[in-house]
Structure 1
């Protein structure tokens, strides 16, 4: 008895010593580690690494940039079944412990003693938050003690809901998805609150091992994990047995959903990304900035479709260039009534195939592997020919889908390309131009209706602006951004050809010429010592039409008349003032080639210039980004573009008037306009506090008020006399009514104006057109500056793209009625001479003049037409 008491006493002392030693050790570790621990309060201000997102003006996501996909959500936004699933999977005692679960730690310690290595860490959700935000994932005892200490601090300072919110937004869940909202988008293409119980349990199973339990990479293991979590939810009475059984029956429906973009507009997104990074640096990729552009998602989608359609249509006119490549055939095929069944080939297609050539499983899998490395461009998918016989063509996609192409869906019209001007005869059978193993492109005309296609070798661009403030409504820089990052809408400097003529004619109107001025359209030869050969400019048709009124010359795009017009007014006078249209006067050629648009300009610059015609004579500047906000929705950047204000006082330009035979001087800006011209129109900020790297413009004390300062858009200056603007617009409308742009009449509108453009070769095809609501420019050509082919003009290659876009852009928009300004007069003239018509002239037509330029009664007695002749000396160099 005495011995037993001694043992018990010894055991008690040993236990007390162990406890004391443990407490001493814990206290020592606490005293040593505690001062080094980060402040838990920082979790309240934590910035989760959130990607840069770019939106259209109507809130559609069109771009996302950043290594981590994350969309933070509040705890209240998380579905209750998901919270229950997470607790069942990770920490079912979360609401009963204070950051550390002793049972879990003892279990982890027991496993360590038994196995000799760490199997589970016994971490609670709170401990995981501590590790994810403050510590590394290296498994050491020191890190575990830090984790425990931090968890205890976190529980003291944050609520359970705040801890769960941090956890759900921070955890990595595979496929670049951080947080549950990003995971829902990545795996199911939905918001987290749109998922069913089985899908929620699937995501709840990912934190343990995102790679091992990934439902895309390892669907079987993911289902086992999901079902275990559902069982735990049943055990914890989160769900009943019926709900449990129904969830178990759900199949794995996860698939990769990319970035979840509402509209893929990469050229726009890249422009916005670059601008944002220029403003805010690398923080733009991680701090959750949201960029709101001026682009309409509907118009952008229409623009992209119009460019693709226009390029495919042009490409089809010039013949089929054959397969992209040919994949090797490993073994000889055999003939059979059915395809050999494999795990990789679409079963329905196998069942429908009869009397087809059969390739081995090894062959088909090798082809699929090769196809998967070939990207899809503009919805043109790569496919390999599996059968080409008679009028039958069968292809296989990268994922084993077998598709039969109808003979009339491309093969019957696959005339071989010979040159840009010639195509061969249409084939009589598919084996005439294709064989097994050839890689072709296919596109889906309608569901399950495919056609043979090819990637166009030409490129095109489109840019559309709001003429009243320069906001970009749509922009396409090429066929597909994945094919080429080069943005032809903003970077390609191409010769505009006749697309530039309206600016020459505007200068002519300002210098005393009128729409009725007659210019001789006749052969002209220029000799110049600086030229290697004599210059003999011609009209596109190669014909000459004699005396031609200025209006006719513009809508019929007569080159020789344009050259004589420029020679008459002088290149110096024509170039002076071109900056008001957005052109750099220093880069414009000071010779007569200017009349034919010989200098290179990008489509965006041309569209900006045409905006002056569209808005009645006001200068605007193009801009893309309307606003940038931070993750909390605070405005960091607000665009303040030049904006037309027709109702504002003192909007009339101070254009100096001149005699009919003198040059009109350029407008002098008022003091207010000079001040506005110094304002940075795009980089104006509205901030509560300056951001790093961004200078805040200080406000003078007399502007300080109790109300927040609202940004004011600067007024666009008037740069073109209203009378001249009205006349040139009227002339450009004739381009649509009876000139080179008359195809646009298919839109059934009377308020359209514009101009085609085609350069020598032809190598560049243009069309720029507008009404009061929209101005758009389209271009088509080769990056290598190759000829487009005989018969390819602005009206045949570029105008159809413009029409397809404007059909959507102007749908439901009322026609613009332009008010005629004071100082204009309509006069009956003789169409042959351009002079005022006699009352008895049956062929007389009406023409618009500025009052000071109208034909006088004295002209009635003149028998000589006012035709400009060749006797005048050349005032400028030719080149």
Structure 2
């Protein structure tokens, strides 16, 4: 009886095992005979051709811009640091080098977890993730998972483990518009892979699971939690020691700003180049790995950017605090309060060094603010001076600093934080090689992130007195000389069609009687300039401007031409002043030196016209020489003297320019074969202030 019972049990077990075996065999036959042939070909991985973005560099090989569908820096697996690989393997696929594409042990654990509560735990290997990233969606569906398994087997049969890992390291999406770990290292930390610390490697390794939730730039706390999980896993599997684990946990995370991944602030340069390259190569420009070498040099671009930034901020400080950017209601519940602050600050446009914060406490002697990272910062003493009007008891509600106010703070080096504001005034700077036209530096505005409008190439503004040298050059061509005497006395001109009398005035309101042409230009005398233009002839002078590349219809054919009432761009002014610098030759500005393909082969190169080619002469050498001597007097003892003294330069020639009611401020000049133009003004033209002049505004 017992024997019969045992035989029945054994028979049943054998039958069940046979059924399971038949089912497995059937599934395998179905999988390899039906499903596997239907999966897409894997040419995309066996013949991997990643989309490489357009990259733009300075002449000294500093990256200044990147444009493309996918931001990617391809890195060979042999060049990936060992600990970086181990960080990924620890959290994603510890048995990667042991399984054949599917980790059945991990898959079984995932099935158990999923049966308990839905598809909550993944069993995907790195090979399966490669299959998904190249061919499939991220949906957690049975059909997609089966195809993923089939593709994983195909990939494992076609590629080595290192080749598969190389695909993963270069193809995976990492957030912040970055694909692959090398690009992510630059985007998040401003570093190459080999420069990363263990903590930074762990941070990157944790991102692929959820590039939004674990993005350290957007969700620093969640990213930190994920990083700790990666580090703990690395320690548990023996990839790092306990000491390395502790040190990495304690390391503070410093996430680079979106612009720190580039070597210098040349956003306006990069955008100009992008437009030129796309015009030539169309949409292919964004994917074929083109490298564009510009004529810009990092040191000069840095100096130009810092100068524009410094002058604009100084002007803004002189003209007072305008009040908070906005106000929000601060909930009393801590979690809601934190979310309200984060949401408000994420919505504020970023500007280099001008950090948006929310005021949490405000008093006449102490203001506390909170930044996006949740840090509380106390500001007191002299660092509240700029915003003092907003702390007064009788301040207007729109101006008052109170809890919930959104303001900006900044600091110099390790100095305490101070309350500042985003300037409203605009500015521009451009420098060219006066002999070839090659750009040396270009800053199209205060901050590209705040305004993409390039004032160097797009802003048509009144040049004011910076236009006078061209009127004086026309006079020289008519036979006048720097020693010619001109009367500096009140001048009343009858208006056209019996209109009101026009009486031009000197900026200082004074008259000096008989003065030389040289003196009149050096001191930017308006009345002598109008008299000179009347003697030369407005039509002659108007036509003469064409020699310098100015647009005729942008300038009046009347006596106000002497006061610069027409319109020019800073780039036009730079090209025009280059003619005085180089002895009379017109140059064509250019920005791109060469273009290389992904293999490094030069496929396009700019060949500037021969230096000082006589065919490019537009002005008699004697005329250019005399104007040059007059412009040097402007900077020695005239309106530009104070500014050039601040620069500690004795070799500069140039001219300041201030338009009527100080709406525009200019300085145009040159030295050492470089011509430069600086401009400042409001986009919606209005006075910069009664005590503001081109000599102080633009330099």
Give TM class, smaller chain.
0.7 to 0.9
Q: Deviations over 1:10-67 (max 9, x none)?
A: 8998688657644642453168516xx2242x43543434444433333333334456
What is the SS of the residue equivalent to 1:165? helix
Query: In the alignment, what sits opposite 2:560?
Result: 593
> Does 2:96 correspond to 1:91?
no
What is the SS of the residue equivalent to 1:133? helix
Query: In the alignment, what sits opposite 1:38?
Result: 41
Provide TM-score, normalisation by structure 2: 0.85
Query: In the alignment, what sits opposite 1:723?
Result: 622
> Does 2:377 correspond to 1:402?
yes
Residues 386-397 of structure 1 correspond to what in structure 2 (within 5 A)? 386-389=361-364, 392-397=365-370
How far residue 107 of structure 1 moved from its aligned partner, in angstroms, is 6.3
How far residue 314 of structure 1 moved from its aligned partner, in angstroms, is 3.1
Query: In the alignment, what sits opposite 2:489?
Result: 522
Q: Distance in 2 between matches of 1:107 and 1:402?
A: 47
How far residue 606 of structure 1 moved from its aligned partner, in angstroms, is 0.6
The alpha-carbon distance between structure 1 residues 514 and 441, as it changes in their structure 2 partners (threshold 3 A), is same
How far residue 108 of structure 1 moved from its aligned partner, in angstroms, is 6.0
Query: In the alignment, what sits opposite 1:678?
Result: none
Q: Deviations over 1:256-283 (max 9, x none)?
A: 4233233343333333333333333344
The alpha-carbon distance between structure 1 residues 152 and 369, as it changes in their structure 2 partners (threshold 3 A), is closer
How far residue 609 of structure 1 moved from its aligned partner, in angstroms, is 0.9
> Does 2:512 correspond to 1:509?
no
CA contact (8 A) 2:56 2:292 kept: yes
Residues 414-429 of structure 1 correspond to what in structure 2 (within 5 A)? none
Q: Distance in 2 between matches of 1:538 and 1:471?
A: 39
CA contact (8 A) 1:759 1:765 kept: yes
The alpha-carbon distance between structure 1 residues 394 and 300, as it changes in their structure 2 partners (threshold 3 A), is same
Q: Deviations over 1:554-583 (max 9, x none)?
A: 212222332233333333333335334221
> Does 2:307 correspond to 1:303?
no
Query: In the alignment, what sits opposite 2:605?
Result: 638
Q: Deviations over 1:82-140 (max 9, x none)?
A: 2233334333443344445565666667777x559656665433332222112333445
Query: In the alignment, what sits opposite 1:664?
Result: none
Residues 484-499 of structure 1 correspond to what in structure 2 (within 5 A)? 484-499=451-466
Q: Distance in 1 between matches of 2:356 and 2:13?
A: 82
Q: Distance in 1 between matches of 2:124 and 2:205?
A: 16
The alpha-carbon distance between structure 1 residues 450 and 77, as it changes in their structure 2 partners (threshold 3 A), is same
How far residue 463 of structure 1 moved from its aligned partner, in angstroms, is 1.5
The alpha-carbon distance between structure 1 residues 462 and 367, as it changes in their structure 2 partners (threshold 3 A), is same
Q: Distance in 1 between matches of 2:518 and 2:336?
A: 69
Q: Distance in 2 between matches of 1:527 and 1:227?
A: 84
Q: Distance in 1 between matches of 2:312 and 2:441?
A: 18
Match of 1:735 among 615, 634, 638: 634
Greater fraction helix: 2
How far residue 222 of structure 1 moved from its aligned partner, in angstroms, is 1.4
What is the SS of the residue equivalent to 2:249? coil
Q: Distance in 2 between matches of 1:485 and 1:718?
A: 35
What is the SS of the residue equivalent to 1:576? helix
Q: Distance in 2 between matches of 1:22 and 1:371?
A: 55
How far residue 735 of structure 1 moved from its aligned partner, in angstroms, is 0.6
How big is the alpha-carbon RMSD for the aligned residues of Structure 1 and Structure 2? 3.9
The alpha-carbon distance between structure 1 residues 569 and 198, as it changes in their structure 2 partners (threshold 3 A), is closer
Query: In the alignment, what sits opposite 2:324?
Result: 324
Q: Distance in 2 between matches of 1:515 and 1:185?
A: 57
Query: In the alignment, what sits opposite 1:167?
Result: 168
Query: In the alignment, what sits opposite 2:692?
Result: 792
Query: In the alignment, what sits opposite 1:250?
Result: 248
In structure 2, the gaps of 5 or more residues are none
Residues 458-607 of structure 1 correspond to what in structure 2 (within 5 A)? 458-530=425-497, 532-607=499-574
The alpha-carbon distance between structure 1 residues 531 and 155, as it changes in their structure 2 partners (threshold 3 A), is farther
How far residue 736 of structure 1 moved from its aligned partner, in angstroms, is 0.9
Query: In the alignment, what sits opposite 1:28?
Result: 33
Residues 793-832 of structure 1 correspond to what in structure 2 (within 5 A)? 793-798=693-698, 801=699
Q: Higher mean Cα deviation, 183-192 or 604-613?
A: 183-192
CA contact (8 A) 2:461 2:664 kept: yes
In structure 1, the gaps of 5 or more residues are 332-341, 345-360, 417-426, 646-650, 654-668, 670-716, 802-879
Query: In the alignment, what sits opposite 1:184?
Result: 185
Q: Deviations over 1:482-509 (max 9, x none)?
A: 3333322222211111111111222222
> Does 2:415 correspond to 1:448?
yes
The number of equivalent residue pairs is 679
Match of 2:234 among 227, 230, 233: 230
Query: In the alignment, what sits opposite 2:589?
Result: 622
> Does 2:247 correspond to 1:272?
no
Q: Distance in 1 between matches of 2:146 and 2:140?
A: 11
The alpha-carbon distance between structure 1 residues 722 and 29, as it changes in their structure 2 partners (threshold 3 A), is same
How far residue 616 of structure 1 moved from its aligned partner, in angstroms, is 2.1
The alpha-carbon distance between structure 1 residues 386 and 362, as it changes in their structure 2 partners (threshold 3 A), is farther
The alpha-carbon distance between structure 1 residues 530 and 269, as it changes in their structure 2 partners (threshold 3 A), is farther
How far residue 761 of structure 1 moved from its aligned partner, in angstroms, is 1.5
The alpha-carbon distance between structure 1 residues 595 and 585, as it changes in their structure 2 partners (threshold 3 A), is same
Q: Distance in 2 between matches of 1:625 and 1:302?
A: 20
Provide TM-score, normalisation by structure 1: 0.69
Q: Distance in 1 between matches of 2:453 and 2:638?
A: 33
Q: Higher mean Cα deviation, 394-403 or 8-17?
A: 8-17
Q: Distance in 1 between matches of 2:466 and 2:548?
A: 13
CA contact (8 A) 2:202 2:227 kept: no
Q: Higher mean Cα deviation, 281-290 or 564-573?
A: 281-290
Q: Distance in 2 between matches of 1:208 and 1:543?
A: 74
How far residue 621 of structure 1 moved from its aligned partner, in angstroms, is 1.8
Q: Distance in 2 between matches of 1:105 and 1:327?
A: 51
Q: Higher mean Cα deviation, 586-595 or 43-52?
A: 43-52
Q: Distance in 2 between matches of 1:266 and 1:381?
A: 19
Q: Distance in 2 between matches of 1:579 and 1:77?
A: 57
Q: Distance in 2 between matches of 1:415 and 1:552?
A: 45
CA contact (8 A) 1:294 1:626 kept: yes
Q: Deviations over 1:694-729 (max 9, x none)?
A: xxxxxxxxxxxxxxxxxxxxxxx2222222221111
The alpha-carbon distance between structure 1 residues 397 and 87, as it changes in their structure 2 partners (threshold 3 A), is closer
Q: Distance in 2 between matches of 1:566 and 1:214?
A: 64
> Does 2:55 correspond to 1:57?
no
> Does 2:75 correspond to 1:73?
yes
Query: In the alignment, what sits opposite 2:262?
Result: 261
CA contact (8 A) 1:615 1:772 kept: no
The alpha-carbon distance between structure 1 residues 785 and 98, as it changes in their structure 2 partners (threshold 3 A), is same
The alpha-carbon distance between structure 1 residues 492 and 532, as it changes in their structure 2 partners (threshold 3 A), is farther
